[in-house]
Amino acid sequence: MQSLSLYSDVELAFLIQYGLHVYIPRTREKIHSEAERRSLSKEKIDRIIRRVEHMATKPNACPRCKSKKIAPLSVSAGEDATRTGYITIGAIMDLIPKRGGSVTMVQRKECTVCRLYLSPNANRPISAYRALWQRLFMPLMD
DSSP line for 15-55: IIIIIGGGS-HHHHHHHHHHHHHTT--HHHHHHHHHHHHTS
Q: Give the chain's domain count.
A: 2
Query: Are 47 and 75 found together in one domain?
Result: no
* Claim: this prediction has a pTM higher than 0.75: no
pLDDT at 142 > cutoff 50 = no
Express each pLDDT in 15-64 by its tens digit: 999 988 889 999 999 999 999 999 999 999 999 999 998 888 888 889 99
Same domain (yes/no): 49, 77: no
* In-domain check, residue 58: no
Q: Considering Cα of 8, then 11, then 70, then 20, what sign does the dihedral take?
A: positive
SS3 at position 76: strand
Q: Are residues 45 and 104 in the same domain?
A: no
Mean pLDDT, the chain, as a whole number? 79
- Is the model's pLDDT at 5 over the cut of 60? yes
Position 84, amino acid = T
Closest listed residue to residue 70, CA positions, set 108, 106, 13: 108
Same domain, 87 and 137: yes
Do 28 and 85 have their domain in common?
no
Looking at the structure, do residues 41 and 77 belong to the same domain, yes or no?
A: no
Predicted confidence (pLDDT) per residue in 69-124, tens digit:
998 887 777 776 666 666 666 666 666 666 656 666 777 888 999 988 887 655 44
- Same domain, residue pair 48 and 77: no
Domain hosting residue 115, numbered range: 70-141
Q: Are residues 49 and 86 in the same domain?
A: no
Whether 59 is in a domain gets the answer no
